[in-house]
Amino acid sequence: MRIAVVGATGQTGRLLIERLHKLGGQAVAVSRSGKSVEGAVDAAAADVVTGAGLDAALEDCDVLVDVVNTQKLVDLRVFSLGARNLIAAAERVGIKRAVMLSAVGVEQSQYPYHRKKAEQERLYRESSLDTTIVRATEYHSFITSFFENGSAMGAIPVFLGARFQPVAPEEVADLLATTVMNDLGDSEIAGPRVWVSRDLAKAWQQSSRARGLIVNGPFPPKLLEFFRSGANLSDTALQGAVSFQEWLQRQSRHS
């Protein structure tokens, strides 16, 4: 099976390609840079926003996997316009099946990032492609990125009143790879435990030995509202096995 992984040089893309390779899949690493990724049989440069290079990148592939991501609010076109361009290219070259990564609860959020993810889901659903959507809760690494950035400036920001059910990105990649290779249906995956934001910060600070005062962060109101609502949690999702503390320990050993 030849699989076009779009967003291949990102965290999820790299982990996914590694796992597809182990399962016998032939992954084509598609990204703006066109850089090769370990485990991929080929690499291709393409831009999902302009559409440049997409037809050539997807040619001869059996499945399209969309794991494109951005944290830049000015660049959210990668989800909506990107989906439109990817779907159109897939249809032109004869791909019938797509798998996309999304986030738990996006349809209940007013935050721009989540609204665009929800639109991305809708576009795939309404397309001619047989689409499977895998939704995940926030990654452990997403949580720690706020702490790391803040600690560098002497303060560790937390989401006041928010709860998280963080999951290991490696386990999300495992589920994506299994879904692709076995033609599974829609699913959700969440971490093994629900945490309040401050406790996550304390666990990270203890593990990293980083200095800084834990403070309530100045986060966008719509993002804070979403994380406070509990819509980012799931009690029906597949449950990952790697806890936040265990993931931190693994990162510490590998650093």
Residue 98, C-beta contacts closer than 8 angstroms, at least 6 positions apart? 63, 64, 65, 66, 86, 87, 90, 124, 127, 129, 130, 131, 132
Domain 2-254: give its CATH code: 3.40.50.720
Contacts of 115 (CB under 8 A, 6+ apart): 106, 109
Question: What length does the chain have?
Answer: 255
The pLDDT of residue 255: 62
Tens digits of residue pLDDT in 10-61? 999 999 999 999 999 999 999 999 999 999 999 999 999 999 999 999 999 9
Whole-prediction pTM: 0.95
Tally of CB atoms within 10 A around 12: 22
pLDDT in tens, 113-142: 999 999 999 999 999 999 999 999 999 999
pLDDT digits (tens, 9 = 90+) for 199-218: 999 999 999 999 899 999 99
Residue 236 pLDDT greater than 80, yes or no: yes
